[in-house]
Every structure is written in C-alpha cells, then in structure tokens.
Amino acid sequence: MTAEPDTPTQVALLECNLDDMPAEALGYALDRLLEAGALDAWYTPIQAKKSRPAVLLSVLCRLEERERLARLVLTETTSLGVRWQRLDRTICQRSTLTVETRWGSVLCKVKRLDGQVLSVKPEHDDCARIARERQIPLEAIVAEARAAAWRALESTGID
C-alpha cells in the first residue's frame, strides 16, 4: 500500500472572471495550470458585466505556489488580475493499493478518516482498459476490484 504525499490543510484559492476567451484557449489554460502543480482547477459558468456569458476560473494551490500560479493565470488567460484568498480545509488521508482481479491488476484509492477506512475506489482508467481489452462489462471489473481491495485491507488488519 502506498500513501499519498501530504496534502496541505491550508491552501490558496486563485480566481478571475473570463468573458473574452475562446473555449480552446480556456481548456489549454486549465491544462497548463494542472500540469504546473495546481491541486485542482475548474471553470464555473457565470454572467459577467454587460450580460456577457463568462466563466469563473478557480485554482486551488499550495500557499507557496500562489504567486507562480497567479502569474501563469495572467500569462495564459486574458485576465488583467487575479483575486486570491487563504483557505483552511479538512481532508481525509489517502493511499493506494494495487489488487489482482482475474482479468488483471487494478489500482485502488483508499480513503481514511482518523485511520478508519471509509471507502475504496478502483481506478477508472485501469478498469476501463481491462473492460475494453477483455470485452467485459466495466461494472464487473469495478465490483471485483473493490471486493479484492476490501479483502486485502481486512487481511492486514487495517480498518
């Protein structure tokens, strides 16, 4: 089982409104932000001044990455400024576990709170690849991988 790297409980939220960018450029900017280390980034449809349809670009990042990613927002979008705020968050612990199914290996994400396992989620890409290769329903692979992960966790005495 592999633990995920420490996830910060204090983060920065960067935001700006964009009402004059083509969809392709919006997608490119979002990809660049994620590649550059944003913890998450997304668009929300909004209505801007003069009743223009627009998007709110939101970027969640580590505090120490705030200035660098704000500069990237200004470089890769039409925005003239970036708002930001410091946020506290409560997070679950995460780890990964690779399990064997009768069709192949599947990586599973394990979610814990205070050490207690809350859920196990098989990696969609692994399950989808196996489903395509083997011509098996996706849900059958997901169900078997989830069951195998729970068995593996129980056999190690981990709740």
- State pLDDT tens for residues 44-56: 999 999 999 999 9
Domain count for the chain, please give it: 2
| Domain containing residue 142: CATH number | 3.10.20.300
One domain, residues 62 and 113: no
One domain, residues 52 and 111: no
Got the DSSP string for 45-88? EEE-GGG-EEEEEEEEEEGGGHHHHHHHHHHHSS-S--EEEEEE
Q: What pTM was computed for the model?
A: 0.79
Q: Kindly give, in sequence order, each residue whose CB lies less than 8 Å from that of residue 21, ignoring residues fewer than 6 positions away.
A: 29, 77, 78
Determine the structural domain holding residue 62 and report its residue range.
8-88
Distance CA 23, CA 41 (A): 15
8: confidence class by pLDDT, cuts 50, 70, 90: confident
What's the start-to-end Cα distance of the chain, in Å?
A: 14
Distance CA 145, CA 20 (A): 45
Distance CA 139, CA 97 (A): 19
